[in-house]
Amino acid sequence: MERILIIDDDTNINNLLKEALEKAGYECSQAFSGTEARLLMKMEDYDLVLLDLMLPGIPGEKVLEEIRGKGDTPVIVLTARDMLDDKIDLLKSGADDYITKPFEIREVLARIEVQLRRKGPKEGAEERKIVYKDMTLDKDTFTVTAGGCELPRLTRQEFAILELLLSHPKKVYSKEEIFEYAWQEPYVGETKTLDVHISNIRKKLKGVSDTEYIETIWGIGYRICQ
């Protein structure tokens, strides 16, 4: 699942983009200032950035400069500037594309798809496996091993839960995030189903190893034990 960072200080626009992108199958993080964006980018890697220029704290132009100084992550600038010279300057500064405000969500989705397609597939053959400490998740064989032993048959949701947690083992995922990723449907506040699946995963892990692998973060959700 491609990860997109949305940087825009307008709460309504930021939330609108997040909702639309998650419905389209992307995983999203939000930043409402340049300073917050810098912090998030130090903690996580992203496949694409949507960047507004008029930001509190660190200006968008500086954020773009820092992204370009670190790599080739696609950046689509959200801008109210519609003069040709301004658009040319954005591209020369390192933006991969720009979208003029106000915009249509369908256009944003289309331009994101184009940039990710240009970047190429996220996973190479060697990345079909996720390895963290003594756990290995193999997407091709639909298996998970812990301590060198394969877990008993996993359901689709159990496998998806482990895939999400292992993809970013330092991140604490909320129950909402885990549920919507594993079941591919909106979370309506009912936690029993997810809790039962987490319990079943823990039992299967306990059957092959005495190590604790899934940590409960009370009041928030779960993550892989550090």
Determine the structural domain holding residue 82 and report its residue range: 3-119
Residue after which a domain boundary falls, among 119, 147, 168: 119
Q: Are residues 162 and 58 in the same domain?
A: no
Q: Are residues 113 and 134 in the same domain?
A: no
Q: Are residues 167 and 111 in the same domain?
A: no
Q: Are residues 109 and 132 in the same domain?
A: no
Q: Are residues 133 and 220 in the same domain?
A: yes
The CATH number of the domain where 15 resides is what?
3.40.50.2300
Dihedral of CA 204/209/215/216: which sign?
positive
The CATH number of the domain where 206 resides is what?
1.10.10.10
H/E stretch holding 45:
none
Q: Are residues 90 and 153 in the same domain?
A: no
Residue after which a domain boundary falls, among 75, 97, 119: 119
pLDDT score recorded for residue 119: 67
Q: Are residues 95 and 137 in the same domain?
A: no
pTM of the model: 0.55
Q: Are residues 32 and 77 in the same domain?
A: yes
Collapsing DSSP to helix, strand or coil, 29 comes out as strand
pLDDT tens, residue by residue, 65-103: 898 888 788 999 998 876 667 667 777 778 888 888 888
What is d(CA 29, CA 150) in angstroms, rounded to the nearest whole number?
33
Residues 127-146: what's their mean pLDDT? 88
Residue 178: is its pLDDT beyond 80?
yes
Q: Are residues 9 and 102 in the same domain?
A: yes
CB atoms within 10 A of CB 46: 20
pLDDT score recorded for residue 121: 52
Give how many domains the chain has, as a whole number: 2
